Structures are given as structure tokens and as C-alpha cells.
Amino acid sequence: MSTDLETSTVVEPEVEQETRTKRLPPYNVILVNDEDHTFEYVIELLIKLFGHTLPRAKDLTWQVHSRGRAIALTTHKEKAELKRDQVLAYGPDPRLARSKSSLRCYIEPAEG
């Protein structure tokens, strides 16, 4: 007796899974003007901590001076908090004897 066993393969239909990356809400890192830090200090800080070019750092420093504040960076909350903490830990301006602490800095939710 001869029996042919047929093997069949069941092909499952492909199920597409939609992967959505949840976009984190943006936050601004704000530098605040005061009279206890020089332009050179603020420019240096913007280059070292934020990676800005010299022309961009100068522009932002003028914004801080003329408007009282400037947005140094817009990013997700965790990085904004890190950058704020780095600014606050940067220390006083060695160019001014009256400078006793770091430049003031805070974060706020960005529009959009």
C-alpha cells in the first residue's frame, strides 16, 4: 500500500504594525540678563555649553542684553533640564569681582 503524505504550509498573512514615535514636547532654555556677567562670559558659555558658533553666540548675547532674555536652545525637556543645570553650574564670571554666581537660566515649554 502506497500513501503519499502531503505536507502543506500555511502562510500567515502579514500584519503591518504601525510604529509611531511619540514626539516629546519642546522646551526652551532661557538665559536671563544681569549686570554681573560680561559679554565675553556669555559668549564663552554659549559656545562651550550649547555648541553655538561665535556669530550665533554674539547674536544671542545681544538678545540677552537688549531684551533681557534669549532662547539659547529649544529641545526636549530632559536635555533642556541638563543644559539649564550646566548653565547654573558654570560658575561666576572671573572677569568681574562682583560676579558671585552663574548666569540665571530657566526652562519653559516652547510654543508649538
- The pLDDT assigned to 22 comes to 72
pLDDT value for 64: 97
pLDDT at position 53 is 98
How many Å apart are CA 97 and CA 37, to the nearest integer? 10
Quick one: DSSP state of residue 57? Answer: H
Q: Which of 105, 106, 111, 108 is nearest to 42 (CA)?
A: 105
Kindly report the CATH class assigned to 34-109. Answer: alpha beta
Domain boundaries of the chain, sorted by first residue: 34-109
Reported as a single tens digit per residue, the pLDDT across 17-40 is: 666 667 789 999 999 999 999 999
pLDDT at residue number 30: 98
| Gap between the Cα atoms of 50 and 79, Å rounded | 11
Characterize the bridge pairing of strands 26-32 and 105-109. antiparallel
Main-chain dihedrals φ then ψ at residue 85, nearest 5 degrees: -65, -35
Per the structure block, which three cell numbers stand in for 90? 558654570
pLDDT for the residue 100: 96
Which residue ranges in the chain fall short of pLDDT 70?
A: 1-21, 112
d(CA 112, CA 26): 8
Residue 45 and residue 34 in contact, taking contact as beta carbons nearer than 8 Å? no
H/E stretch holding 26:
strand 26-32
